[in-house]
């Protein structure tokens, strides 16, 4: 396998007495989609916040493109090419869709015209072309998720961290946005996504990591992890794998 673009090495983070992430490791291969799944409260978003620099890990290292980037602030990581979206969308509500994307586009384009071009192009790419001049707060949930994606993309990232971009969307909206994500990957953007919509994880991800109670309990292809008894137990409770197995035999 090629060198991973991102590798998280035994990272821990503590909120007071709560060990939210416990010696978790993860790696993402370039130009492919890696999924991070796990039950609610497993520490997935905390791990994302650590990778994107919003939280400093108490232990462990993060390497990006071969360099140690542990503890760097978010804006510097963004400059290196790590972009994230937020699980709870954070649009700049007072601005239009175009202006929202423009903020990201300015990261690598100082000139206004160049940045506006990038913003427009990215807006079209995620399917917001018709809504560029609407106020951001007039968008639907699906629209806001697209906007979140567009803003992150406008920074021209090498690594894109997607935190539940499909959550809250209906099946037809999910069908619309999945190809957008796949196209990004085909274009060479490395993606790590936190996702609960398993159908999307199965169809998109090449590698899946499973986090439960702060620990990485499994890693492998989508098929491997869903068959892993530890994973089944993490989601459904102790003894669930055994019961399911017994049910299958009957």
Measured at the CA of 139, the angle between CA 148 and CA 126, to 5 degrees, comes to: 45
Is 44 an interacting residue with respect to another protein (CB under 8 A)? no
Q: What is the x/- site pattern for another protein, positions 108-137, by CB under 8 A?
A: --x-x--xx---------------xx-x--
User: Near another protein by CB under 8 A, which window of 64-72, 86-94, 190-198, 199-207?
Assistant: 86-94
Question: Which residue from 10, 56, 79, 187 is in contact with another protein, where contact means CB under 8 A?
Answer: 79
Output the CA angle 185-158-55, nearest 5 degrees.
Answer: 115
**Interface with another protein: number of residues (CB under 8 A):** 35
Q: Which is nearer to another protein, 21 or 83 (CB)?
A: 83
Bridge partners for 11 per DSSP: 24
CA torsion 145-148-151-156 (nearest 10°) is: -90
**Hey, how many other C-beta atoms are within 10 angstroms of the C-beta on 35?**
23
Q: Give strand pairing partners of 161.
A: 84, 192
Contacting another protein (CB under 8 A), which of 35, 45, 72, 98? 98
Of 59, 40, 37, 38, give the one whose Cα is nearest residue 50. 59
**Among 27, 45, 46, 155, interactor with another protein by CB under 8 A:** 155
**Which residues are near another protein by CB under 8 A?**
52, 54, 73-75, 78-79, 83-84, 86, 90-96, 98-99, 102-104, 106-107, 110, 112, 115-116, 132-133, 135, 151-152, 154-155
């Amino acid at each position: 396998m090629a060198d991973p673009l991102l590798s998280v090495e035994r990272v821990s983070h503590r909120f007071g007495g709560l060990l939210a992430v416990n010696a978790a490791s993860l790696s993402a291969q370039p130009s492919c989609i890696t999924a991070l799944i796990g039950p609610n409260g497993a520490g997935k978003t905390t791990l994302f916040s650590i990778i994107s620099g919003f939280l400093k890990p108490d232990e462990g290292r993060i390497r990006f493109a071969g360099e140690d980037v542990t503890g760097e602030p978010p804006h510097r990581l963004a400059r290196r090419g790590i972009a994230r979206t937020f699980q709870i969308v954070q649009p700049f509500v007072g601005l239009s869709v175009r202006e929202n994307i423009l903020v990201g586009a300015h990261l690598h384009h100082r000139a206004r015209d160049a940045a506006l071009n990038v913003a427009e192009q990215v807006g079209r790419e995620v399917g917001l072309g018709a809504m560029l001049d609407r106020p951001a707060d007039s968008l639907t949930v699906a629209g806001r998720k697209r906007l979140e994606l567009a803003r992150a993309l406008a920074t021209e990232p090498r690594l894109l961290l997607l935190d539940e971009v499909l959550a809250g969307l209906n099946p037809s909206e999910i069908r619309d946005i999945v190809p957008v994500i796949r196209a990004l990957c085909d274009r060479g953007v490395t993606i790590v996504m936190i996702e609960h919509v398993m159908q999307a994880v199965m169809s998109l991800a090449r590698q899946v990591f499973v986090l439960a109670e702060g620990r990485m309990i499994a890693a492998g292809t989508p098929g491997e992890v869903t068959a892993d008894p530890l994973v089944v137990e993490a989601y459904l409770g102790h003894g669930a794998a055994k019961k399911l197995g017994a049910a299958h035999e009957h």
